[in-house]
Structure 1
């Protein structure tokens, strides 16, 4: 059921921001990549190539991308460029990735090292940004043979983890303000108040997508230990029907609800954690994936299916005339939108992990034959 749903979704997908290079489309690209890696099925690569090629020109330019915005979100879709470059050898994909790398060379940082979330969110580190930038920077370093890029990504990641960790809950806060100027920032710690599930979901995915590229050694062991501790907390906070709440540790909060994008992110990260040898919570991830398939992928008018109960967007600070204060009450007022790519992309990734674990993949397809399959791209 999920495979046909994903195929329909990708076939009819309209770029999130009218074709401009953006992280939302990057969520779909990650889903398509993981499905192609897991199955070898050409349709996922065809969808990916069609969508990416509408945004990357012959010289490696990116549609409506402006480096001077210093928006960390814009880095995420760049991971698809490495994938297509490896499969096709087309230089324009690597040139486009280098353009994003130039943004990271000049991207502003807080005093202790991690990148600002965006130029318009100065002196702030958000968990979202760790997923947007750190796996890309590791992959860029590997693609260019520059270990300094990998080392900087790991250093930033560890510092951001230290800054956002909440000892009392064993979880991580959505944001940290070095300047303590934001009304949402605790004047002592600089942290935002609540534990938003999707922000922790971004973080969980950042963990596994960084760890998979690291060799055995201290960096991999240290990050794996941090992730294992987080996974234990997730296991303690899962709902009876195998999902996670919008405000993950506030089950008694009025109007709190099982949120689908965070659940899909955890379903992916928990399964991948076990595949990477971090811990053994894959069954929890698979049960969360099944819960989404059972409860939230529902038929709608016209015979199509949609993934329900996805928080459209949430953040910190001023946005569209409101001030997002990071409180429990705030997160429970944000709009819910079905089929938002921030939920569907991670659901694709979670299903790809299930297929890998079940053996129902094209694992017998060699890398050489996969490259041959892609040669017509």
Structure 2
């Protein structure tokens, strides 16, 4: 069922912003990469290459990309360029990623040396942006054999963790404003007030994707330890049916609901965290979440097409389209909910891919005698 759903989704996918380079398309690309890595099925690679090639102009420039916007979101789909370069050996993909590398060299920084979320959101760090930029930076450092770049990315990530951590809850706040100007920012700490599920989902995925690319040593050990703390807290906060809420730690908040993109992100991150060295209990929690998400939210519409439901379309902080997003618990419940939004479907692909990898690993480690016995009993 899932293979058909993902295949049809990718086959019929329309670029999120009409073809302009954007993070939403990057969410699909991450899902397709994960499926290709876990299954070896070239259909996922073919979808990826077709879609990415459609966003590279004949002169090698990325469609709609403008470096002067200094939008950290635009970095995420660059990871697909690095993967295509790795898989094909074609220099054109690495060349296409270089404007993104230049953006990061010149992107505005907070005084603590972490990227601003965007030029139009000055002095602010959002959890979303950590996922958008830093795994790409670590992967690019490997492509270019640039250890200094990797070290810089790790230090930025660690600093951002300190600035957004809420020690009382064991969670992380969506945003931090070093200027303390924004109305959503606490005047003493600079942090926003709520724990939005998907923001912490972005962070969780950043954790595991960065950790995966690090050599054994102090940095990897420290980040694994910090993610283990977050993962433990997440397993305490899931709903009775193994999902997570839009406002993560407020089950009694009127109107709060199990949100599908956050659930998929946590499912992916918990399973991958276990693969990278954490307790197998986290993998079980991640798989349980995946099973629940599929059974509760993947339904056929009137045409018979499967769709994933209860995906928050977008949420943020500060001014946007004439409104001011104040970062309160209640604010996050006002945002639109859309079926089949790629910010839910992409992470669902990734969570499913992790389950596939685990099943393959289990089969590979199963003694031959057990395989024979199992086959003979069918």
Fold shared by both chains (TM-score > 0.5): yes
What is the CA-CA distance between 1:362 and the residue it aligns to? 11
Q: Does the Cα contact within 8 Å between 1:82 and 1:94 map onto a contact in 2? A: yes
What is the CA-CA distance between 1:360 and the residue it aligns to? 8.2
Superposed, which structure 2 residues align to 1:113-192 within 5 Å?
113-192=113-192
- TM-score of the aligned structures, taking structure 1 as reference length: 0.95
What is the CA-CA distance between 1:57 and the residue it aligns to? 2.9
Return 76-85 or 278-287, whichever deviates more. 278-287
Return 245-254 or 353-362, whichever deviates more. 353-362
What CA distance in whole angstroms lies between the structure 1 residues aligned with 2:87 and 2:260?
32
Return 194-203 or 50-59, whichever deviates more. 50-59
Superposed, which structure 2 residues align to 1:210-225 within 5 Å?
210-225=210-225
Segments of 4+ moved more than 4 angstroms: 360-363
Query: Aligned residue for 1:61?
Result: 61
| Number of residue pairs the alignment of both structures matches | 363
| 1:105-124 CA distance string (max 9 Å, x none) | 00000000100000000000
Q: Does the Cα contact within 8 Å between 1:227 and 1:278 map onto a contact in 2? A: no
Q: Give the secondary-structure state (helix, strand or coil) at the position aligned to 1:328.
A: coil
Q: Does 1:2 align with 2:36?
A: no
Query: Aligned residue for 1:258?
Result: 258
Query: Aligned residue for 1:306?
Result: 307
Query: Aligned residue for 1:91?
Result: 91
Query: Aligned residue for 1:370?
Result: none
What CA distance in whole angstroms lies between the structure 2 residues aligned with 1:20 and 1:36?
24
What CA distance in whole angstroms lies between the structure 2 residues aligned with 1:15 and 1:265?
21
Q: Give the secondary-structure state (helix, strand or coil) at the position aligned to 1:43.
A: helix
Q: Which has the higher contact order (CA 8 A, sep 6+)?
A: 1
What CA distance in whole angstroms lies between the structure 1 residues aligned with 2:88 and 2:362?
22
Q: What is the CA RMSD across the aligned residues, in angstroms?
A: 1.2
What is the CA-CA distance between 1:59 and the residue it aligns to? 4.2
Query: Aligned residue for 1:26?
Result: 26
Query: Aligned residue for 1:371?
Result: none
Q: Does the Cα contact within 8 Å between 1:59 and 1:95 map onto a contact in 2? A: no
What CA distance in whole angstroms lies between the structure 1 residues aligned with 2:352 and 2:11?
18
What is the CA-CA distance between 1:314 and the residue it aligns to? 0.1
| 1:217-250 CA distance string (max 9 Å, x none) | 1000000000000000000001000000000000
| 1:59-111 CA distance string (max 9 Å, x none) | 43100100000000000000001110011111110011111000000000000
Query: Aligned residue for 1:355?
Result: 356
What CA distance in whole angstroms lies between the structure 1 residues aligned with 2:214 and 2:60?
28
Superposed, which structure 2 residues align to 1:281-360 within 5 Å?
281-359=282-360
What is the CA-CA distance between 1:279 and the residue it aligns to? 3.0
| 1:22-73 CA distance string (max 9 Å, x none) | 0000000000000000011111011001100001134431001000000000
